[in-house]
Amino acid sequence: MKKPTHKIYRTTNWPAYNRALMSRGNIAIWFDPATQWYAPSKGKQGRNQTYSDAAIQCCLMIKSLFRLSLRMVTGCVQSLIKLCGLNWTAPDYSTLCRRQKHINIAISYQKS
């Protein structure tokens, strides 16, 4: 039994094809100003957490996506916050290290 031959598609619109190839490498990361970046006060004894779980999860997700160390993530997130024009600070790498033990991150993905 013969294998079916694949169809050969010819590109007829090269400018659109080139734009499509360039847009494949586009990365868009943004921070929503409505996100609660800092943790609210719990009213209990002891020191309150500075950053919310959403902030820690965001940093750890960037860490896993780009395979960065915790120190690199701190710098990357701080530069992204600065690019967005927000008046936030990034969590320190020691804070990320301590909090990643107690936070569950579920990254949804599609199989290719």
Tokens 């991150």 locate to: 105
Taking CA atoms, 81 is separated from 95, 102, 109, 112, in Å, by 18, 24, 25, 31
pLDDT of residue 107: 63
Q: Tens digits of per-residue pLDDT, 21-43?
A: 888 877 788 888 898 999 998 88
pLDDT of residue 108: 64
Q: For all residues of the chain together, what is the average pLDDT?
A: 87
Q: How confident is the model at residue 88 (pLDDT cuts 50, 70, 90)?
A: very high
Query: Tokens standing for 38?
Result: 């800092």
pLDDT at 94 over 90: yes
pTM over 0.85: no
DSSP code per residue over 9-67: PPP--HHHHHHHHHHHT-------TTS--BPPP--SSSPPPSB-HHHHHHHHHHHHHHT
